[in-house]
Amino acid sequence: MQNNKLFVFLAAAIGLLIVPLFVQQLGNGPVRILDLALLYVMLALGLNIVVGYAGLLDLGYVAFYAVGSYMFALLASPHLSENFESILAMFPGGLHSPLWVIIPLGAGLAGLFGVLLGAPTLKLRGDYLAIVTLGFGEIIRVFLNNLEHPVNITNGPRGIGQIDAIHFFGIDLGKPLEVFGFTLPSVTLYYYLFLALVVFTVIICYRLENSRIGRAWMAIREDEIAAKAMGINTRNLKLLAFGMGATFGGVAGSMFASFQGFVSPESFSLQESVMIVAMVVLGGIGHIPGVILGALLLSALPEVLRYVAGPLQEMTGGRLDAAILRQLLVALAMIGIMLSRPRGLWPAREHGKGAPQPVSK
């Protein structure tokens, strides 16, 4: 049994490592889809800490993603030095902060925002919390959209471009890399970086799930008053859940910024938050393999459908283009999967008692 598990594990690891090598033969597009799917896995796992473990429904998660993205964009693009004399004077060559500065900063700032959001909402539960977090996400988006006047910080709806690619140990992920006479394009390099981060995230999530903290979160999710009575510090733990979830969002955001080379408020709409919540819930809330499945399904499948949308578009006289088809399918998936499997596609086995139950009135 133990051997069998190890075998599956090794096979999966090798599979994940060589997949992009085959996919890249098809061009950069498909690898990009894989990359984005991995980012969504990371986001969904981060949100799963808040929603799945601690039971706090957060509809403003994309705000932290945005904070991480803009943090990276500001510190690794010419934008700041173009708009502020003093920064230009300090860094004549423009800001090109190294990864080791940006990631902790992005993660830390996003985590701080998470705690800031958590603090006033501690008393709230369920739907009230959902609507407050949703409002918080919108507030952040309004600011991103408008903070270009009187001082231009975010460049408003036009967004920030020319963001550096990630570079570390002399490797620049923005350029193709020769390894043993084999060329790895930039997107494949990003794939490996994202894969490493996802594996790291999964390990943290597994460790959390079985730790004292994770168990305390689940106790709060099941019955907050009972948890409090057992001596659990619900305030600190809820703040910690918000903070940790947000941190993952921030890291994923900074990765996104460097991967795209461009950020704008459009990428951080409420629709995006809803999509991430849907990934978590559709996959199987609180269950790591389920959440990963949900994220892969909702992020990669619609992109793949883009390629087959051509004939459909012709059939419907151009009314049903790829973007609309994608939305339609995502909407139908959200409704269809919930109707047939209200606990998600791959729920945790013990989740029968774990899922948040309707309030019996």
Task: Kindly determine how many residues on this chain lie close enough to bind another protein according to the rule CB under 8 A.
Answer: 53
Q: Is 342 in the site for another protein (CB under 8 A)?
A: yes
* 331 near another protein (CB under 8 A): yes
CA distance 283 to 346: 6
> Which positions from 30 through 59 interact with another protein, judged by CB under 8 A?
51, 57
What would you measure as the largest C-alpha separation in the chain, in angstroms?
68
Q: Does 301 bind another protein (CB under 8 A)?
A: no
From candidates 7, 9, 128, 200, binder to another protein by CB under 8 A: 128
Minimal distance in Å, beta carbon 212 to another protein? 25
DSSP 268: G
131 binds another protein (CB under 8 A): yes
**Binding another protein by CB under 8 A: which of 17, 90, 196, 332?**
332
Q: Report H helices in the chain.
A: 2-23, 28-48, 62-75, 79-83, 85-90, 99-118, 126-146, 186-209, 212-222, 224-229, 234-260, 270-283, 288-315, 322-340, 351-354
Distance from C-alpha of 77 to C-alpha of 60, rounded to nearest angstrom: 26
Rounded to whole angstroms, how far apart are CA atoms 119 and 51? Answer: 16
Residue 177 main-chain phi, psi, to 5 deg: -120, 135
Minimum CB distance to another protein, residue 37 (Å): 20
Q: Which is nearer to another protein, 97 or 269 (CB)?
A: 269
Each residue 234-273 as x (binds another protein by CB under 8 A) or -, in order, gives ------------------------------------xx--
Distance set, CA 65 to CA 74, 135, 176, 269, 322 (Å): 14, 15, 27, 11, 26
Query: Any contact of residue 322 with another protein (CB under 8 A)?
Result: no
- Judged by CB under 8 A, which stretch of 62-70, 94-102, 202-210, 325-333 contacts another protein? 325-333
Q: Which residue has the tokens 């133990």?
A: 2
47 contact partners, CB below 8 Å, separation of at least 6: 58, 61, 245, 249, 276, 277, 279, 280
Check binding of 289 to another protein (CB under 8 A).
no
Task: Return the number of the residue (187 or 355) whose C-beta is nearest another protein.
Answer: 355
- Contacting range for another protein; rule: CB under 8 A; set: 163-171, 194-202, 240-248, 334-342: 334-342
CA 220 from centroid of its chain's CA atoms:
24
> Among 87, 184, 324, 345, which residue sits at the site for another protein (rule: CB under 8 A)?
324
Residues 245 and 250: their CA atoms lie apart, in Å, by 9
Q: In angstroms, rounded to a whole number, what is the distance separating the alpha carbons of residues 243 and 359?
A: 27
The reply to whether 282 sits near another protein by the rule CB under 8 A is yes
Cα Rg of the chain (Å, integer): 21
What burial class does residue 7 get, using C-beta atoms within 10 Å of its C-beta: 0-12 exposed, 13-18 middle, 19+ buried? exposed
| Smallest distance, another protein to C-beta of residue 46, A | 17
Minimum CB separation from another protein for residue 86, in Å? 20
Among 5, 149, 349, 353, binds another protein (CB under 8 A): 149
The reply to whether 311 sits near another protein by the rule CB under 8 A is no
Residues that bind another protein (CB under 8 A): 51, 57, 120-121, 123-128, 130-132, 134-136, 138-139, 142-143, 145-146, 149-150, 270-271, 274, 277-278, 281-282, 285, 319-320, 324, 327-328, 330-335, 338-339, 342-343, 355-359, 361
